[in-house]
Amino acid sequence: MLASGLCFVGVTGVVRYLGTDLPAAQSAFLRFGWGALFLLPALITVARGGVARGVMRLHLMRGVLHIAAVVCWFYAMARIPLAEVTAIGYLNPVLLTLGMAVFMGEKLAFRRLAAIAVALLGALIVLRPGLREVTQGHLSQVAAACFFAGSYLFAKKLSAMVSAGQAVAVLSLIVTIGLAPFAWLVWVPVTVAQIGWLAVVAACATAGHYCMSRAFALAPVAVTQPVVFLQLVWATLLGRIVFGEAVDPFVLLGGGVIVASVSYITWREATLRKAPSVTPEV
């Protein structure tokens, strides 16, 4: 989980380094293009086996949400500090929990509702509306968190129908194809160095997801989830040392509040899965 966090901080650091020279849609297209290339063997396997029509519909719906999410994320990443992008991104699992209740009928007992409320309070601590300017970059990252949560809703549904390899490979292909027209509309000349750095982004993201999967397989979520907070520490250090970004204690505080809430929700859901089905949640 520690290695996973470092990989994802590498992703944010490289995208931050590339800045605004490339439009968000073009950067995202090139990143996912590399990802699809890395996953080509898995795509060939999927093509040979075929995909059921109903399953493909879910893949496409997830892809649409993911396209919106990655464009918003790339836009925010180039415009606000690394630590703020990371802290706001911690809202993804909280919004996913809400989405599961609204769209998939899962019940939310009082303690999980309280944890969600605490997480939203953490987001307000990070953003501090009314006390400072909330920029388009901040709003874009909040939108990215919402779209990513929607994508994960479909991922959860697909997880019972297809392998993880198929889900990741098909998503990469759909997002690459879906981003192509948007990238073409805003296309600017791209250097070999920029293409190379976006390949590094794709490699770091792939390695990060692999390490995360290994962590979940080897240890309980109660152990792995709190380690996620270190990603905010690494992002803060990277922003300060490499990009000269000021260390904002409110961002660290708000991020810590969100991670604590997410850790509780994750631990609670894991506990309920182990408990007898007749045991009510209070």
pLDDT at 39: 85
Report, as an integer, the average pLDDT of 104-123.
83
pLDDT at 211: 83
129, β-bridge pairs: 132
Confidence band, pLDDT 50/70/90 cuts, at residue 270: low
More confident position, 274 or 193: 193
Look at residue 48 and tell me if it is in a domain.
yes
pLDDT at 132: 83
Confidence band, pLDDT 50/70/90 cuts, at residue 272: low
For 23-44, write each residue's pLDDT tens digit. 999 999 999 999 888 888 888 8
- Report the number of distinct structural domains present in the chain: 1
What are the residue ranges of helices labelled H in the chain?
A: 2-18, 24-38, 40-49, 53-77, 82-89, 92-104, 110-127, 136-159, 164-185, 192-218, 221-224, 229-243, 249-274
Cα gap 35→203, rounded to integer Å: 7
3-state secondary structure of 209: helix
Look at residue 282 and tell me if it is in a domain.
no
For 123-153, write each residue's pLDDT tens digit. 899 988 878 888 999 999 999 999 998 988 8
Residue 178 has pLDDT above 90, yes or no: yes
Residue in 88, 213, 200, 202 with CA at minimum distance from that of residue 148: 88
How distant, in Å, are the alpha carbons of 216, 241, 257 from that of 238? 26, 5, 21
Cα gap 206→41, rounded to integer Å: 14
Residue 61 has pLDDT above 90, yes or no: yes
Residue 276 has pLDDT above 50, yes or no: no
pLDDT at 174: 93
Look at residue 281 and tell me if it is in a domain.
no
pLDDT at 282: 40
Look at residue 279 and tell me if it is in a domain.
no
Residues 6+ apart with CB under 8 A from 249: none
Q: Of 6-10, 109-113, 120-124, 231-235, where does mean pLDDT reach its minimum? A: 109-113
pLDDT at 243: 86
Query: Residues of the chain with pLDDT > 90: what percent?
Result: 29
Look at residue 112 and tell me if it is in a domain.
yes
For 216-238, write each residue's pLDDT tens digit. 677 766 667 677 778 888 888 98
Look at residue 8 and tell me if it is in a domain.
yes
More confident position, 94 or 142: 142
| Tokens linked to 279 | 């045991």
For 195-211, write each residue's pLDDT tens digit. 999 999 999 988 887 78
pLDDT at 279: 33
More confident position, 191 or 264: 191
Look at residue 280 and tell me if it is in a domain.
no
Look at residue 266 and tell me if it is in a domain.
yes
Q: Which domain holds residue 160?
A: 2-274
